[in-house]
């Protein structure tokens, strides 16, 4: 279905047959759109007697659907603990980030991290569980799936669960606390010592409390929370999903686990929890934020998709040989990889790479296998990375050329061949001897029955040329090849393209997406 057809089928978008067909397509190379909910939702106001989740205009979702999005991730929807903000959210490095992102910020703009949550309860500042379920139903009617956060590693350091379920958290003794009072803490009014959540390569997050994955009670509790969430949405983005892995968790907390007498659990959390959820909700989708080359392991434990941060880094560095090597990974792995050039943790692509390189990068992640991940503001060329602790953002000028670019790219990649087709990395050949610029060019092809697309990207600052051999057996002596990005058509010799290769000549950071 083309984008021009979207308005024509508004009366059909709610029929079950249409949704069944659309959902089948979603499972292949879907497009996800992340929204920083607590900040974004303020633009719609809050009429008296109406929760913010109820006040989002339907046209917002229609527009995302028309752009070809399949999944909406509402980041930061769970209840947090405002009591930790004054203690933990005004450290020097955070204040510097606030100054950079929002020059006139005030103390009341700091609302705390959405990843230091009280529990999996809808933030009352946004609405209720009932409001969320209504929103999910509305999205599903439009063919959109709803993703929410699951933060397996920790809760807020002031979570009410410290009172109701202290057994699920990693505890320590006075000796451990005395040696490291940054990583461990004594909650006020409690006769116990707990660990703050942490990543083994960084200091502990003092606004959090660490879940103990060497506790069977914690495994059962967190599995229960996942089952609860699965009743409210269609999938979860699992924050720092590698931290609960048995070896990672053991290596992070080895000394405390040994001293407190904890042994390795009988059940591997992710495998057990994912199986339990999919028993009840077979189509539920698990997406992992993952690093440290642990993506494959997480996929084997049941994750449907895992972050591909390594590709993001290679794109940022502009290393074409490494990008090519990366894209030679097994197809099954690539289909489960999440491709992105920005999100709430990364610098904005337009700021990090500039107009031309960021457009070339967007074509890469938008035309390879896997989930295509976009962040709110990316299509408009936003430049400011907003710290997640801030509840207000700067007003930025829309970069109209980026809006036009993404509109074109999303229209092109909305074709079914980019969802259901077969992807193949192509060899790029020298245009002539002694011309090494072919090494700057990336090329791949999508094929679905008679439909073919050729993507060619000069991912460098240098004017570059190459040749690409295409299988055009069965074509007429001359055939038309159409550049969809630039609305230009060319006639080429079938014999030349098959034997010598299609000649490509591209300026820096420029691309073709051909139909032939």
DSSP letter for each residue of 371-399: EEEEETTTTTT--PPPPTTBS--------
pLDDT at 193: 98
Torsion 294-386-95-205 (CA) sign: negative
pLDDT at 50: 81
The lowest-confidence range among 158-167, 260-269, 406-415, 461-470 is: 260-269
The lowest-confidence range among 10-19, 327-336, 444-453 is: 10-19
pLDDT at 31 over 70: yes
- The topology (CATH level 3) of 3-172+214-420 is TIM Barrel (3.20.20)
Chain CA centroid to CA 112, Å: 21
pLDDT at 2 over 70: no
Q: What is the mean pLDDT of residues 279-292?
A: 97
pLDDT at 16: 37
Length of the chain: 516
Q: What is the mean pLDDT of residues 38-57?
A: 90
The per-residue pLDDT for range 358-391, each reduced to its tens digit, is 999 999 999 999 999 999 999 999 999 999 999 9
The per-residue pLDDT for range 410-458, each reduced to its tens digit, is 999 999 999 999 999 999 999 999 999 999 999 999 999 999 999 999 9
Q: What is the mean pLDDT of residues 141-157?
A: 98
Residue located via tokens 């069977």:
216
The per-residue pLDDT for range 170-194, each reduced to its tens digit, is 999 999 999 999 999 999 988 999 9
Q: Which candidate, 455, 286, 440, 441, places its Cα nearest to that of 369?
A: 455
Would you tell me how many other CB atoms lie within 10 Å of the CB of residue 422?
11
The per-residue pLDDT for range 286-298, each reduced to its tens digit, is 999 999 999 999 9
Q: For the chain, what is the mean pLDDT?
A: 94
pLDDT at 19: 41
pLDDT band at 266 (very low <50, low <70, confident <90, very high): confident
For the chain, which residues make up each domain, given as ranges?
A: 3-172+214-420, 422-515
pLDDT at 45: 86
pLDDT at 5 over 90: no
pLDDT band at 406 (very low <50, low <70, confident <90, very high): very high
Q: What is the mean pLDDT of residues 504-516?
A: 98
- Greatest Cα pair distance in the chain: 84
pLDDT at 27 over 90: no
pLDDT at 338 over 90: yes
pLDDT at 52 over 60: yes
- The topology (CATH level 3) of 422-515 is Immunoglobulin-like (2.60.40)
Q: What is the mean pLDDT of residues 47-55?
A: 86
pLDDT at 15 over 90: no
pLDDT at 51: 86
Of residues 23 and 254, the one with the higher pLDDT is 254
* Residues 466, 482: Cα–Cα separation, whole Å: 18
pLDDT at 189: 85
User: Which residues does residue 390 pair with via DSSP β-bridges, in sequence order?
Assistant: 110
Q: What DSSP line would sit under 74-108, residue for residue?
A: EET-EEE-GGGHHHHS--HHHHHHHHHH-TT--GG
379 near 471, Cβ under 8 Å? no
The lowest-confidence range among 47-51, 200-204, 331-335 is: 47-51
pLDDT at 489: 96
* Residues 230, 278: Cα–Cα separation, whole Å: 9
CA distances from 451 to 23, 418, 516 (A): 21, 10, 8
């Amino acid at each position: 279905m083309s984008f021009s057809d979207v308005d024509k089928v508004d009366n059909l978008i709610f029929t079950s047959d249409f949704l069944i067909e659309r959902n089948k397509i979603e499972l292949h190379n879907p497009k996800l759109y992340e929204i920083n909910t607590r900040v974004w939702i303020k633009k719609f106001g809050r009429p008296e007697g109406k929760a913010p989740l109820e006040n989002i205009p339907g046209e917002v979702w229609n527009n995302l659907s028309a752009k070809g999005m399949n999944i909406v991730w509402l980041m930061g929807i769970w209840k947090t603990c405002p009591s930790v903000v004054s203690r933990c959210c005004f450290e020097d490095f955070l204040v510097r980030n606030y100054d950079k992102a929002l020059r006139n910020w005030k103390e009341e703009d700091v609302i705390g991290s959405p990843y230091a949550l009280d529990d999996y309860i809808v933030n009352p500042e946004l609405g209720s569980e009932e409001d969320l379920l209504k929103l999910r139903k509305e999205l599903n009617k439009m063919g959109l799936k709803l993703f929410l956060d699951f933060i397996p590693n920790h809760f807020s350091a002031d979570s009410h669960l410290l009172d109701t379920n202290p057994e699920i958290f990693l505890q320590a003794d006075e000796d451990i606390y005395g040696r490291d009072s940054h990583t461990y803490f004594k909650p006020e009014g409690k006769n116990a010592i707990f660990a703050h959540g942490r990543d083994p390569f960084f200091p502990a997050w003092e606004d959090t409390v660490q879940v103990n994955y060497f506790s069977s009670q914690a495994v059962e509790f967190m599995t229960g929370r996942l089952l609860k969430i699965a009743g409210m949405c269609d999938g979860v983005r699992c924050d720092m999903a590698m931290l609960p892995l048995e070896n990672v968790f053991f290596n992070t907390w080895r000394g405390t686990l040994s001293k407190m007498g904890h042994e390795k659990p009988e059940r591997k959390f992710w495998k057990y929890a994912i199986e339990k959820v999919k028993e009840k909700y077979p189509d539920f989708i698990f997406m992992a934020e993952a690093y440290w080359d642990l993506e494959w392991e997480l996929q084997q434990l049941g994750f449907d998709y895992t972050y591909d941060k390594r590709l993001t880094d290679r794109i940022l560095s502009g290393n074409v040989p490494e990008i090519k090597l990366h894209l030679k990974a097994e197809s099954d792995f690539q289909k489960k990889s999440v491709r992105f050039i920005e999100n709430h943790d990364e610098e904005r692509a337009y700021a990090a790479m500039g107009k031309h390189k960021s457009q070339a990068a967007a074509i890469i992640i938008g035309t390879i296998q896997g989930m295509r991940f976009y962040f709110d503001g990316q299509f408009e060329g936003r430049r400011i990375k907003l710290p997640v602790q801030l509840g207000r953002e700067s007003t930025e000028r829309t970069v109209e050329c980026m809006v036009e670019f993404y509109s074109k790219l999303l229209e092109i990649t909305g074709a079914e061949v980019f969802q259901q087709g077969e992807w193949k990395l192509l060899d790029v050949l020298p245009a002539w001897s002694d011309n090494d610029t072919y090494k700057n060019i990336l090329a791949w092809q999508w094929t679905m029955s008679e439909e073919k697309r050729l993507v060619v990207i000069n991912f460098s600052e240098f004017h570059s040329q190459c040749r690409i051999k295409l299988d055009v057996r069965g074509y007429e002596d001359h055939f038309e090849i159409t550049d969809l990005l630039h609305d230009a058509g060319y006639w080429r010799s079938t014999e030349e393209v098959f034997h010598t290769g299609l000649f490509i000549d591209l300026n820096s950071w420029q691309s073709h997406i051909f139909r032939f």
